[in-house]
Structure 1
Amino acid sequence: MRPHPAPVPRAAVARAAVALATPLAVGLATDRTDYGALVSMGALFAILGDTADAYRMRIFNIALPQLFGAVGVTIGTLVHGQGQGQGGWLAVGVLTLVALVSGMISSIGAVASVSGLLLLINAVVGAGLRLPEPWWVAPLLLSLGGLFVLVLSLLAWPLRGRGPERAAVARTYRALADLLEAAGRTPAADGTHDTYDADDTYDTKRQAVTDALNHAYDLVLARRAREHGRSAGLVRLLAQLNVVIPLVEATPAVHLTAGGRPLPTAVPAAVRELADAVATGRTGGPPPELPAPGTPAERAVDTALRHAASVVHETTGTTGTAGTAETTTLANTTTATATATTSATSAATSATSNTTDRLGRPAALRVRARRAARDVLLSAASWRYGLRLALCIGLAQALVSLVTVPRSYWVALTVTFILKPDYGSVFSRAVLRALGTVAGLVVAAAVLSATPRGWWDVGVMLVLAGIVPAVSAKGYAFQTAAITPVILLISDTLNHEGFDLVLPRFTDSMIGCGIALVAGYLLWPESWHTRVGTRLATAVDDTAEYVRSAFAPGADQPERVRQRRRIYRELSVVRTEFQRALTEPPPTGTRAMAWWPLVVAVERVVDATTAARVRVDHGARPPSPAEVAGVERQLRELAEAVRSSRTAVRARARVRPDPYPYAEAGSVPAAETEAETRTEADERSPLAPLRHEVAAARAIVSTTWL
């Protein structure tokens, strides 16, 4: 229930107020309040799906769900009146099938999930609510509301242009400045390095950099994929983002070797100056004034920062600088990759992206459709999502067909909002939905009892609609509390029942919460285990491969950058799954908590690997192949232990302290003499911090989870 800290999106607040209140005003003026209410309802659903920053992505995020919503309300209208009594099982069967499709297409990505949600919501509304005749009027009005929101959201496009993409890149620079400021400071209050506190300053700011990079690459590369010709401004923006990578790589080297001595304040200040230059599009600035570096890690930061400044401030030839081997990088989205080419004269930067947050990849439409259909039909996750949602919707519709329930479609709507499996924990969403509904009904009761029907509804809607985007980011309960009075005000405009809507809404919502909790959570086998361990094992395996390739002869730096970015993407997914699992009741939440120390430990292993590679690049002695192979073997053993254990507790017996940490696989007995003759020089090896982090991760598995 604690609200998440989030700024108020003023533009979204104004957009929601205008988009929902204007149709009501037009409906009153033309004496077609039912038409105005349906347009407002369509606008509300579009407001909930308007989460993109880039203008081009807003078109996709809003327009595609409206198409699915129109199909849904058409299907619902055709079976209207078949929800209760004789012939009621037709509506049950049709809506259950729609729920199956809705759940399955949700596995494609975020936009497809919103599309599936709107498909099912509108089908339920059409089946349970008498809508204006003929059948095509309701789909048209609901779509008109969504298109109205789309038009409002694009009004600033001619003025701002690439503003969202530029702002995302600038936020990446600012997040990096915060990370550089935290680098070198001891993470624990007692000066030790063995804490795995999630609130640790450096770890928290490193995660913020990862999130900022992910978001910036998603925006920039998504736009780049749509512009097949040369776009100097976009190429420049991509170059400014690419040169962040060497700085990101150099930061862990500073953190692990600084010995409690932070970087000079001029370094993060210079990065913040670059952030301001990126945000405003300013070029031609002077080079940063930086103190002389004293260590290999500081030299790496100095070199990367000066290079970034030259790219940000350069007025021409940007891509020629940004495309060097040092700064070429690939942005990944789960299984996605996007390539920034190394030539300024290349007319089209190669960008391939297997995105999971949008319906398609930057390929031909038929290719994207074929891949999406294959993912839906062959993915076990899509079938699990679809069957779970279909089961609960079928039960909800069967119940209201057998038992007279006023405003019965609200039962299925409640189940739909709660049980979208890709939206988070079903248990927590059911509880928060119930609490938010109660709070929203208190507001709705006051509004419906005190506000005269008519033009007063327009003024009230202006206020209530603006609250929805203002509080949505603070948590699901807050969003539910804000939406409830808006929905009831629209329903009152359609049905003129006033305060009498409050009690049925409460009853139906509680029934829907109960169905979701019992059938969608308590009786669903998947609810009682998390996927944290499986995904974490994959990340550990990839980390082992990253260690091997980072120090392989003739190591390919772009490939190493790709691997590191992919691992951080995977760990971001693990963090998301971990946060979801923590909201589950015992034993699921307790089991999830046990994985957290290892999640942080793996992130530090990746940091230590990058830091070691940076030190070698700036003059440190390269590690021996046997030393690299030993670290790789330890990580693969750790991954296998995690993968073969359903819980963290069971993993402890599968990992033991390694008596031969420097041995290659298959040569452990021969390594005994070598291990015994290691000297103090090994502690000066660039892999020494990495070995310590790997040992700490193995110790977590072998001793902590007793």
Structure 2
Amino acid sequence: MGQTPISPGRVRPADWIVEMLRIRRAEFPLGHSIRSAVAVGGPFIVGSLTGHLITAMWIGLATLLLAAGEREGTYRLNFTIIAISTPIAAAGYLLGFIQDAPIAALVVLAALLAFLMGVIAGLGPAFSVGGMQFLLVASIALGVKGIDWWEPIGLYFAGGVLYAALLGIEMLLVPARPQRAVLVPMLTALADLARARHDDLAEGGDRTAAARGRATAALRAATTRVAEFSVRTAGSAGSWTLDDGVTGAAERVQAFLIGDRDPAAAEIAERRLRALAAEVAAGRSADAGEPATEPAVAGSSRGAALLSTRIDELADALRPRKRPAGARHERLVSGGIGREVVLAAARLALCYGIAVAAREYFPYGHWFWVPLTVCMVMKPDFGSVFARAILRVIGTVVAVALASLLLLVVPKGVGLGILIAAFAALVPWLMMKSYALQALAITPIVIFLVDVITPGDGGNFSWERIAATAIGGAIVIVFGYLIWPHSRRAWVAETFAQAMAGIAAHLRVAGTAVPDDAGPAADRHSELVAARRAATRAMSDLQTRLERALAEPPPADTVAGAWIPAVDAAQVLADSVTAYATDRVADDVPPDEPESAALAADIRHAGEGGRSGEAVAPTDPALRPIADRLARVRAHLADT
């Protein structure tokens, strides 16, 4: 899933609705989908054939939550998610033992537990998944009568073992699948950037902007998925690697593609990058076949030669080698419990407590669908709460109608198990495309499974479920969104200031002289690389913030729309700083520390909202394009 840069232009009043309903492009995750179908539908089918349908249902419910919680990341990440989230989620069934407690005590306890689950979500993806699963399981435990809850607890662990075993089978069959899944898009995106850069240099235009946005998104995806296993079998699909060296080399290629001004060099870069992508996709070694080098272009600049060198470094980094000591793994426990996490947890606690109180005010037996809806909508790390609430209601209404119709025509047993497996196979794919489509896939499975433990209900309470979903969505919108001014702000200005500060830091370091001594020169190079990465990621964060704000209702979408021209101008400014830094690395322009530092301070000042004071007018010709682009940013800021 690539990031699509925002296009400038006036935002119409209803554009936030279009943005909210947008269906993202996503490749079908074959392994994840097969695993989901087998893990969720398989136990149900076996239980139907052996007469242990209730046991199968509890296992299927566990594996459904695990399938929905799996990330498109490394095996190490997903094994950790299973190991951490399974005991957390299973503990949710303990609330079934106190389901008849006084409603006031139950509401307070539920709110406190929801707050705790929201807070631990800041510790990393495994805890975020576990927290949501705990609340989902707790909702069912509080609302379903006549169950010995020790059995579901044990069977949840059995579901975790089953799902881990299926994931282990894929790991043995396709050990480098997670790496390949991001390496090929990353190399392809860099090749597309090279083509866009060539066309812009040769013909004019601004194709680079969109291509750069996609390349940045692909690089970020790869950066979060460093390899967890050293796979070095020659000739196998694991005959290349993904680690910090690869992503760092890819970032340098991107920077030099943006900074270079030689269309012929960009064309050669495109061919080489596409060849690397083809080799990885085919499972061949990065050094197999023809060498990934081409003769330099006659009369090419030193910058073009450095671009070729950077691609050589990327090709070399892809070759299998022993992992260096101290290589970084993914941070599975981040410890990032800050103010934002606590505020999100407080909103979650308020909404979940009100939802659990539905036992008193919801006039039907399936009241637990109200808190179940709330925790699915308010999962802390999904972006816009408002959009999720609307999409959840829309998706659930359609899903409930579909599931109710299918329950009328498909008898319980093997046929229903096959239907569950079919829906489960779609869950991983639809989760990546739209929240409404995710609800459309998951809701019928939950209905089919929970229907088994509600004998005598007739298995078809469509209007109850729709009403409960609507109430849950309304609780989230009112108590999790509207009454919190903090959540209704666009927050673009703050993120814009961070991005401009990153651009300024990049320029400040790029303008310094390279020391003659090797040690200080290496330190400067490391500082330059870190500054470039920080600036690139800050701009990516700004685009993401803008996209989320555009999917919010007024006033957030109106504010975000006004920022579009300034954000686009800031990206052009960032590219011009990258080009200057490339010229400095190639030694095509001399350093000018005073003027570059003054211009960097001006960029930071503009990002902080400073419109007063005289703008810096550098005398260095290499810095004038940056000053011109900063002037455009200031002009757009005046209109926000």
- TM-score of the pair, normalised by structure 2: 0.87
TM-superposition CA deviations, 1:282-313 (whole Å, max 9, x none): 22532522433533443332333344445556
Aligned residue number for residue 41 of structure 1: 61
Distance (Å, rounded) in 2 between the aligned partners of 1:498 and 1:293 = 80
Aligned residue number for residue 544 of structure 2: 576
Distance (Å, rounded) in 2 between the aligned partners of 1:236 and 1:397 = 46
Residues 1:512 and 1:657: Cα distance change in structure 2 (over 3 Å)? same
Residues 1:201 and 1:68: Cα distance change in structure 2 (over 3 Å)? farther
The reply to whether residue 439 of structure 1 matches residue 398 of structure 2 is: yes
Equivalent in 498, 502, 505 of residue 545 of structure 1: 505
Equivalent in 595, 610, 617 of residue 661 of structure 1: 617
Equivalent in 100, 104, 108 of residue 81 of structure 1: 100
Distance (Å, rounded) in 2 between the aligned partners of 1:201 and 1:222 = 36
Is contact 1:73-1:126 (8 Å) kept? yes
Aligned to 1:638, the other structure's residue is in SS state helix
Residues 1:310 and 1:582: Cα distance change in structure 2 (over 3 Å)? closer
Is contact 1:26-1:36 (8 Å) kept? yes
Is contact 1:488-1:501 (8 Å) kept? no
Aligned residue number for residue 29 of structure 1: 49
TM-superposition CA deviations, 1:489-546 (whole Å, max 9, x none): 1122121334532121111111111111111122122232122211221221122122
Deviation at 1:352, TM superposition (A): 7.7
* One-letter amino acid of the structure 2 residue matched with residue 147 of structure 1: V
Distance (Å, rounded) in 2 between the aligned partners of 1:455 and 1:298 = 63
The reply to whether residue 604 of structure 1 matches residue 572 of structure 2 is: yes
TM-superposition CA deviations, 1:387-408 (whole Å, max 9, x none): 1011111112224224533211
The reply to whether residue 123 of structure 1 matches residue 83 of structure 2 is: no
Aligned residue number for residue 342 of structure 2: 383
Deviation at 1:29, TM superposition (A): 3.2
> Sequence identity, in percent?
28
The reply to whether residue 351 of structure 1 matches residue 328 of structure 2 is: yes
Distance (Å, rounded) in 1 between the aligned partners of 2:550 and 2:362 = 36
Aligned to 2:447, the other structure's residue is in SS state helix
Is contact 2:511-2:592 (8 Å) kept? no
Distance (Å, rounded) in 2 between the aligned partners of 1:243 and 1:659 = 36
The reply to whether residue 567 of structure 1 matches residue 581 of structure 2 is: no
Is contact 1:69-1:143 (8 Å) kept? no
Deviation at 1:268, TM superposition (A): 0.6
Distance (Å, rounded) in 2 between the aligned partners of 1:264 and 1:562 = 24
Moved more, 618-627 or 51-60: 618-627
Distance (Å, rounded) in 2 between the aligned partners of 1:93 and 1:429 = 25
Matches within 5 A, 1:173-572: 173-186=187-200, 191=204, 201-220=207-226, 238-254=244-260, 257=261, 263=265, 265-279=267-281, 280-282=283-285, 283-284=287-288, 285-290=290-295, 291-292=297-298, 294-309=300-315, 312=318, 348-351=325-328, 355=331, 358-360=332-334, 372=335, 375-376=336-337, 379-496=338-455, 497-553=457-513, 554=515, 556-572=524-540
TM-superposition CA deviations, 1:622-645 (whole Å, max 9, x none): 14233212311211211221xxxx
Is contact 1:434-1:509 (8 Å) kept? yes
Distance (Å, rounded) in 2 between the aligned partners of 1:245 and 1:392 = 42
Deviation at 1:144, TM superposition (A): 1.9
**Alignment RMSD, CA only?**
2.7
Equivalent in 105, 120, 123 of residue 108 of structure 1: 123
Residues 1:46 and 1:599: Cα distance change in structure 2 (over 3 Å)? same
* One-letter amino acid of the structure 2 residue matched with residue 41 of structure 1: L
Distance (Å, rounded) in 1 between the aligned partners of 2:88 and 2:463 = 31
Structure 1: gaps of 5 or more residues: 193-199, 225-231, 320-345, 361-371, 642-653, 663-677
Residues 1:139 and 1:352: Cα distance change in structure 2 (over 3 Å)? closer
The reply to whether residue 586 of structure 1 matches residue 554 of structure 2 is: yes
Residues 1:177 and 1:210: Cα distance change in structure 2 (over 3 Å)? same
Deviation at 1:657, TM superposition (A): 7.7
Structure 2: gaps of 5 or more residues: 1-20, 231-237, 516-520
Is contact 2:399-2:443 (8 Å) kept? yes
Aligned residue number for residue 174 of structure 2: 160
Aligned residue number for residue 74 of structure 2: 54
Distance (Å, rounded) in 2 between the aligned partners of 1:43 and 1:168 = 25
Aligned residue number for residue 617 of structure 1: 585
Distance (Å, rounded) in 2 between the aligned partners of 1:417 and 1:2 = 20
TM-superposition CA deviations, 1:11-56 (whole Å, max 9, x none): 2222222111121123223323211111111111001011133212
The reply to whether residue 14 of structure 1 matches residue 34 of structure 2 is: yes
Distance (Å, rounded) in 2 between the aligned partners of 1:209 and 1:131 = 54
Distance (Å, rounded) in 2 between the aligned partners of 1:350 and 1:686 = 38
Moved more, 291-300 or 203-212: 291-300
Residues 1:164 and 1:659: Cα distance change in structure 2 (over 3 Å)? closer
TM-superposition CA deviations, 1:171-214 (whole Å, max 9, x none): 3222111101101434999x56xxxxxxx631222122222222
Distance (Å, rounded) in 2 between the aligned partners of 1:305 and 1:608 = 21
Aligned to 1:265, the other structure's residue is in SS state helix
Moved more, 383-392 or 208-217: 208-217
Is contact 2:37-2:424 (8 Å) kept? yes
- TM-score of the pair, normalised by structure 1: 0.79
Aligned residue number for residue 631 of structure 2: 695
TM-superposition CA deviations, 1:206-235 (whole Å, max 9, x none): 1222222222222226668xxxxxxx9787
Distance (Å, rounded) in 2 between the aligned partners of 1:145 and 1:113 = 19
Aligned to 2:461, the other structure's residue is in SS state helix
* One-letter amino acid of the structure 2 residue matched with residue 655 of structure 1: R
TM-superposition CA deviations, 1:267-289 (whole Å, max 9, x none): 31111112233442422532522
Is contact 1:411-1:509 (8 Å) kept? yes
Deviation at 1:70, TM superposition (A): 1.1
TM-superposition CA deviations, 1:239-260 (whole Å, max 9, x none): 4444333322211122xx45xx
Aligned to 1:552, the other structure's residue is in SS state coil
* One-letter amino acid of the structure 2 residue matched with residue 130 of structure 1: K
Aligned to 1:220, the other structure's residue is in SS state coil
Equivalent in 606, 613, 619 of residue 638 of structure 1: 606
Residues 1:537 and 1:167: Cα distance change in structure 2 (over 3 Å)? same
Distance (Å, rounded) in 1 between the aligned partners of 2:329 and 2:66 = 29
Distance (Å, rounded) in 2 between the aligned partners of 1:6 and 1:614 = 34
Residues 1:509 and 1:306: Cα distance change in structure 2 (over 3 Å)? closer
Aligned residues: 600
Distance (Å, rounded) in 2 between the aligned partners of 1:43 and 1:352 = 27
Distance (Å, rounded) in 2 between the aligned partners of 1:62 and 1:41 = 14
Aligned to 1:243, the other structure's residue is in SS state helix
Distance (Å, rounded) in 2 between the aligned partners of 1:55 and 1:309 = 24
Residues 1:305 and 1:130: Cα distance change in structure 2 (over 3 Å)? same
Deviation at 1:117, TM superposition (A): 0.6
* One-letter amino acid of the structure 1 residue matched with residue 159 of structure 2: G
Distance (Å, rounded) in 1 between the aligned partners of 2:431 and 2:78 = 18
Deviation at 1:163, TM superposition (A): 3.5
Residues 1:287 and 1:462: Cα distance change in structure 2 (over 3 Å)? closer
TM-superposition CA deviations, 1:590-620 (whole Å, max 9, x none): 1122223333333332322221122133242
Aligned to 1:495, the other structure's residue is in SS state coil
Deviation at 1:168, TM superposition (A): 2.5
* One-letter amino acid of the structure 2 residue matched with residue 26 of structure 1: V
Deviation at 1:124, TM superposition (A): 1.6
Deviation at 1:661, TM superposition (A): 2.4
Residues 1:561 and 1:509: Cα distance change in structure 2 (over 3 Å)? same
Residues 1:14 and 1:308: Cα distance change in structure 2 (over 3 Å)? closer
* One-letter amino acid of the structure 2 residue matched with residue 699 of structure 1: A
Distance (Å, rounded) in 1 between the aligned partners of 2:220 and 2:548 = 20
Residues 1:423 and 1:287: Cα distance change in structure 2 (over 3 Å)? closer
